[in-house]
Structure 1
Amino acid sequence: MSIRDDFELEFERKVLDTINIYNLFTNNDKVLVACSGGKDSTTILYILKKYDFNVEAITVDALIGNYTKENLKNIENFCRQQRIKLHKISFRDKFGRSLCFIQSILKKNGVSMNSCAVCGVLRRYLLNKESRRIKPSCIVTGHNLDDEAQSFMMNLLRNKLSLSARLGPKSGLVQDEKFIPRVKPLYFCKEDDIIRYSKLKRFNVIYAPCPCRTDAFRKKTADFLDSLEKNNPRIKENIIMNFLRVLPKLKQRYHTDKKIRYCKSCGEPSRGEICNTCNIIKLAAK
């Protein structure tokens, strides 16, 4: 067996072990992969299909020019080749405008919210809402080891440990019939290994970051961890393993028995009377 074959099998085994050890889902479950067309979501979609999971894909087009056009084309071609059903949603169909237009109006109206935050809120909203009609057991996301280590460190540095209680291989703190559980089979996979795997498999994906990326704090955190990794190759694994040891206590501390509220405007789960998505769309309509 070649070094390449060894790497691919070891990588796939790590993903399958994560699914089994953390009881993310089984072969009998219908799983829905949230796909951007990038390396992470394409990689997990391929592995789940290869190992005969009942998998479908869903993609949300934020209409970010050629970047999302290329990503959409890539994931459409991939799903066609792999015979995977693809569900497509766009910001224009659901919100009547693109992310860039929404962001420009928010900025014009003096709303201080970066593109990544706006996109994240709107994407999560659409993924959860539109997935309910597909009725999957869970939504699979492409979050990897680097993503999770960055998120935990950012919450730590901002003194927002309550947000870390929502992290882990299984996302979230609350359960509700309107919430589709989200899971992360790539949780222990390093970004560099995902890049290597996707290139060995010759996936047609864009490796450049989103042109609208404006989360400077995440970028600085990522650069900081990368610099530490040069002298300690296991720094990110160490961060995550220690985080997982305290995660049960975080979930216990920040667990709430408060009844889930529903947005008075759209009826979706919300922390307040009006959900973040409806607030954003309202502010972008002025």
Structure 2
Amino acid sequence: MRIFDPHIHMTSRTTDDYRAMYAAGVRALVEPAFWLGQPRTSAAAFVDYFDGLLGWEPYRAAQYGIRHHCALALNPKEANDPRCAEVLDLLPRYLVKDGVVAVGETGFDSMTAAEEKAFTAQLALAVEHRLPALVHTPHRDKAAGTARSLDVIRESGIPVEHVVVDHLNELTVRQVLDSGCWAGFSVYPDTKMEPDRMVAILREYGTERVLVNSAADWGLSDPLRTRATGEAMLAAGFCADDVDRVLWRNPVAFYGSSGRLEADGPALDPASSFEGNSIRRGGS
């Protein structure tokens, strides 16, 4: 089983997670920019963060046989903090980088005017740079938040096939698929979506324009939930080709529209990497 995790926050994960992910079949991923838990007090903090997503994290992932790509944005939660407003001015210099395959996470957290302003501005940047966009839907009042997100997307002029609306559930999947956007699902241990629920959605709506991710971060999450979903699909009667489509070919197709994706091709063998020397020398 080959797996492309289209939304995972490896900055918050350990090298043991990379080992386990490789063993489970993960060979590529996209890490969207997000809230790190501790509020950032200036746009300068994002410079270091973006540089890490483009430099250190791809290098670290490569040591464990996984290709790392990123999506960059001012996340919805911090869009409410005026100290971070200048991030929107910084983004254009980063969105031209080879490792950036999308604008994201953008969208809504608390449905504020500041969030909508940043959302609209970043969709415009996605259009300008011909990049797809990853849209975060709010965890509260998700149906209304998803509906407003689709309104903003339509008003922006971005091609709907270049947008994935993420963190969906049973109440929001139909309106997103009907819009022409991609439907993203975050499979978590206790919240958002579970493998069995994901299988039920795939049975009802099919495997087209669906992305399944772990969205693993610093909270209670599991970077192997993509593998668990694939196994649940097989147990429910889906064929191996269905699993490959959902867990590999769909994310390749979506992020491939950036023209910068490097998911295909031989993956590195962790046994022949620099794991034993350069990584170790960089630590304590």
Greater share of helix residues, 1 or 2? 1
Larger radius of gyration: 1
**Do the structures match in fold with TM over 0.5?**
no
Greater share of strand residues, 1 or 2? 2
Q: TM-score, normalised by structure 1?
A: 0.31
Q: TM-score, normalised by structure 2?
A: 0.31
